[in-house]
Structure 1
């Protein structure tokens, strides 16, 4: 089996490792085809491509675009993209501006919770200053002893409905898919099992995504349980989607899966990478 992992993050968004370090870990774990897909950012792709080439891995340039759908956030992977395409570059720049405004609002709300000034501390943990995220605030709170763990920081302060949660309007589904297609890539819904939609909302999500030109969903994901692998294989078959496989790696001991360690994509599915082998 060719070991393929099409979802991972570096310190150019909310991951812990530099792009070259993520590449090295992927190769060490036996990955043959690898995608770096940082949140709303393309800045790590050159280093990632150079490192993958030196290590003998096929590199797939990617990005994970934040989208608002039915009042909640959905992540759409753009895979095998032209990272220099102006539509994609401009669109992601706009999304990052929304991220910056959200980070400032989170800092204000944490201050109101009596936790002092947290923005500079979170910023120091973000290698890309345009992408200070809730994860960086959570790490900072944990390091300062204000939270028992990163998860506790989300549960107490940063999760949806918690006192420091700040909503943001991301790109629309049409915008995100349009940018990805304009850049020659494939649009794939990341880890659908994470979204808390009703069956009717899920149907609207998948139908609209397909109508806009989206071609696949993540079936085997580090964010899914083994039971969900089968569930989303059935979803892919029902809607005619290609299937994807990705660990959603953010760093050692972060998340459920390491790079390249997930089970194979079910054989009855058409893999999103079928034309890249």
Structure 2
């Protein structure tokens, strides 16, 4: 069974609409897919409708990826098998969306001081009905201002400590974990080696995430080599965290593709170990 529990659509910083993502999942023969847009669940209803009509064999998991703060780091927590209509979750996400809007305005102001005028309007056009993210600003810089690549846009302007970086006032990890679990979901620490921290700090992060009630950790995702994967798996085992896997898919590419990051471990318990995956396209609300 091919399982991918981390993907994005145009409702955040993905390049494919929910319809296109479902069609891509079918092409890549994905059996279980979680859509985890940044701080929004707005694309889930469309995706479920399309899956029901076009790809009924797909097990679609309702999810979200929430931005949080820990120490000086922005940490992402994926919520899996959530009740997307849960009122506390939706109230929380509205607050997150307002913070994203406030950050976008400040980023645009800083980029204007760097000589890039009119970026906010262009970034909004890329975002469409979705959440505006730093990736939309990177697209503007690459497509309109001769910045050579996404990586260069972050390295020079948008990354941590750079000229147009803006620190959003994200909530603490414990708050995000709590709201995910109130909505019947499981809270998973996303792509833990991507936070530009030392192994010592990563140990602290995972320990605190676990102590605050986190359920799982991604142990398979793009950009993780064998040694780091072994290290992350050892942290999962040490703190009794469930194991998750996902491509963090944003668009078709050489390095990221739906269904490529499979979990194979006889030591760790998968985050989906007690989900009922026998009913195609079912909406999983709570563990069995």
Q: TM-score, normalised by structure 1?
A: 0.94
Aligned to 2:283: none
2:187 touches 2:214 (CA, 8 Å); kept in 1? yes
Aligned to 1:51: 50
Which of the pair has the greater relative contact order for Cα pairs under 8 Å at 6+ separation? 2
**Partner SS state of residue 160, structure 1:** coil
Aligned to 1:262: 261
**1:188 positional shift:** 0.4
In the alignment, the residues of structure 1 paired with residue 58 and residue 273 of structure 2 have an alpha-carbon distance, to the nearest angstrom, of 16
**1:9 positional shift:** 0.2
Aligned to 1:209: 209
In the alignment, the residues of structure 2 paired with residue 143 and residue 204 of structure 1 have an alpha-carbon distance, to the nearest angstrom, of 39
> Cα deviations across residues 141-193 of structure 1 (Å, max 9, x unaligned)?
11114301111111111111211111111111111001100000000000001
Distance 1:81 1:223, change over 3 A: farther
Instruction: Report whether the alignment pairs 1:109 with 2:110.
Output: yes
**Partner SS state of residue 219, structure 2:** strand
> Cα deviations across residues 16-44 of structure 1 (Å, max 9, x unaligned)?
00011111111211111110000000100
Instruction: Report whether the alignment pairs 1:21 with 2:17.
Output: no
Aligned to 2:129: 128
5+ long unaligned stretches in structure 2: 278-288
> Cα deviations across residues 46-78 of structure 1 (Å, max 9, x unaligned)?
011122333020011000000000121000000
**1:264 positional shift:** 3.0
Distance 1:23 1:223, change over 3 A: farther
In the alignment, the residues of structure 1 paired with residue 227 and residue 50 of structure 2 have an alpha-carbon distance, to the nearest angstrom, of 35
1:223 touches 1:248 (CA, 8 Å); kept in 2? no
> Cα deviations across residues 248-268 of structure 1 (Å, max 9, x unaligned)?
000122x73200022433222
In the alignment, the residues of structure 1 paired with residue 118 and residue 143 of structure 2 have an alpha-carbon distance, to the nearest angstrom, of 14
In the alignment, the residues of structure 2 paired with residue 78 and residue 264 of structure 1 have an alpha-carbon distance, to the nearest angstrom, of 18
1:219 touches 1:244 (CA, 8 Å); kept in 2? yes
In the alignment, the residues of structure 2 paired with residue 266 and residue 158 of structure 1 have an alpha-carbon distance, to the nearest angstrom, of 36
In the alignment, the residues of structure 2 paired with residue 200 and residue 150 of structure 1 have an alpha-carbon distance, to the nearest angstrom, of 29
2:116 touches 2:145 (CA, 8 Å); kept in 1? no
Aligned length: 274
1:34 touches 1:57 (CA, 8 Å); kept in 2? yes
Aligned to 1:196: 196
> Cα deviations across residues 66-109 of structure 1 (Å, max 9, x unaligned)?
00001210000000000011111011111111110100001000
Instruction: Report whether the alignment pairs 1:86 with 2:87.
Output: yes
2:2 touches 2:262 (CA, 8 Å); kept in 1? no
Map 1:90-169 onto structure 2 (within 5 A).
Answer: 90-128=91-129, 131-169=131-169
Aligned to 1:32: 31
